[in-house]
Amino acid sequence: MAKFIYLDNAATTPCDPRVVKAMLPFFTEKFGNASSLHQAGRETRSAIDSSRDIVAKFFNVEPEEVIFTGSGTEADMLGVKGILEGVHDRTGKTHVITSAIEHKAVLNLVYDLEKRGFQITVLPVDKYGRISPDDVKKAITGYTALVSIMAANSEIGTTQPIKDIGKICREKGVFFHTDAVQLVGKVKIDLQEDLIDALSLSAHKFHGPKGVGALIVRKNVPLRPQILGGGQEKRRRAATENTPGIVGLAAALQLCEEYLEKPKDKMVLGDYLVERVLKEISGSILNGHPDKRLRTHVNFSFPGVEGESLLLRLDLEGVCASTGSACSAGSLEPSHVLLACGILPELANCSLRLTLSRDTTKKEIDQAIIILKKVVAELREMSVL
């Protein structure tokens, strides 16, 4: 029996042991700097090249369209600020469009860009957290350089009409970046078919190592590097390559392929959790879209039960959950995503996020439901007193 039931896979996932195994030689025997011309360096270079090929194939792009970064956050920075500045340098365009439910990696970045003279439009979402492609269309002006809309939300799991948005951007001659950190590894993404110009991903969200991500960016997209120094990543991201991380990222992605083909089990398990909680815990509300969602991501509100207290009580009982994004946890601020969906702060503060992974078992879900029912009942009783 594991020491806890881990239902916080949107915050991070355990690294797959097969991924760790693929990484290990690159800490010790195969430690060369990929920029070195000797055989130790060439060995590492070749491992990075193969990893890049794997990632490129996965998203149906060319290997040189893959830029490895140090995180999903950094991929977002390069994908949003790097493209905006790249386009601005060439055309003078100053406008970026994004949404109110983006990850803080994008939101705080665009607010900072606004302070420095760029124009931003932060689009609203409907009560399910969906962005309307029509709103995107209306927001595009002659000054718009870039649209950045996340593929799937980390807090409520809602997925976006990415291809429709991509199509609008193509028609208007505007570049389209998507933060796909939560979607990658769960749903097939083809950059060409889905009309995406740039996409961010992070290995630790799909059973890879922490501290490595990638920006996939099409050849025709102007990009201003954000980390200057050596000529690594074709002068688009300086710093000695994190070889173990890159090898791990590619290995983790390759393993996902196997799970993409039969995602049914987990879909059923996530839906099973939703069904049972809605039925067995009175007054519970499912946040996010009822079906345009990641099946692994479940977010409830339990009116009268404060989310932080619920989280702490669940933790004592051995269930790891979240009230929203890990970054805003502990800050007691209601989630910006739930507020953007029009959920009142009182109710947003009563939310609980449970996120599954391919490792989650039915036994764990059954156990978690028993504990959740007990804890919610106890907290409701206390709040009545």
Task: Return the amino acid letter for 227.
Answer: I
Check binding of 214 to ligand PLP (CB under 6 A).
no
In 3D space, the residue among 5, 10, 4 whose CA is nearest the CA of residue 328 turns out to be 10
Q: Cβ atoms within 10 A of the Cβ of 117, count? A: 8
Check binding of 158 to ligand PLP (CB under 6 A).
no
Residue of closest CB approach to ligand PLP: 72
Which residues pair with residue 320 across a beta bridge?
6
Check binding of 99 to ligand PLP (CB under 6 A).
no
Q: How far apart are CA 253 and CA 249, in angstroms?
A: 6
How far are the Cα atoms of 65, 183, 218, 289, 335 from residue 228, in angstroms, in the given order?
Answer: 19, 29, 21, 41, 34
How far are the Cα atoms of 4, 317, 318, 319, 366 from residue 1, in angstroms, in the given order?
Answer: 8, 14, 12, 13, 14
207: helix, strand or coil: coil
* Site stretch for ligand PLP (CB under 6 A), options 67-75, 126-134, 244-252, 286-294: 67-75
Hey, CA dihedral for 196, 156, 361, 204, is it positive or negative?
positive
Member of 88, 95, 103, 266 binding ligand PLP (CB under 6 A): 103
Check binding of 73 to ligand PLP (CB under 6 A).
yes
The torsion defined by the Cα of 372, 377, 378 and 384, in degrees rounded to 10, comes to 150
- Residue number with CB closer to ligand PLP (281 or 320): 320
- Residue number with CB closer to ligand PLP (43 or 194): 194
CB of 185 to ligand PLP, least distance (A): 12
Beta strand segments in the chain, E: 5-6, 66-69, 95-99, 119-123, 144-148, 175-179, 198-202, 213-217, 285-287, 297-301, 319-320, 351-355
How far are the Cα atoms of 93, 119, 120, 149 from residue 115, in angstroms, in the given order?
Answer: 16, 9, 10, 21
Pattern of binders to ligand PLP over 230-259, x per CB under 6 A?
A: ------------------------------
Check binding of 159 to ligand PLP (CB under 6 A).
no
Check binding of 205 to ligand PLP (CB under 6 A).
yes
* Site stretch for ligand PLP (CB under 6 A), options 41-49, 200-208, 224-232, 238-246: 200-208
> Does the active-site annotation cover 327?
yes
Check binding of 105 to ligand PLP (CB under 6 A).
yes
CB of 344 to ligand PLP, least distance (A): 24
CB of 197 to ligand PLP, least distance (A): 18
Catalytically annotated residue among 169, 256, 320, 327: 327
Check binding of 177 to ligand PLP (CB under 6 A).
no
CB of 12 to ligand PLP, least distance (A): 7
Q: Report angle CA 169, 288, 131 to the nearest 5 degrees.
A: 20
* Site stretch for ligand PLP (CB under 6 A), options 71-79, 111-119, 139-147, 265-273: 71-79
- Residue number with CB closer to ligand PLP (131 or 369): 131
- Residue number with CB closer to ligand PLP (66 or 375): 66
In 3D space, the residue among 148, 147, 152 whose CA is nearest the CA of residue 130 turns out to be 152
Residues tagged active-site: 327
Given the rule CB under 6 A, which residues bind ligand PLP?
71-73, 76, 103, 105, 150, 154, 179, 181-182, 202, 204-205, 213
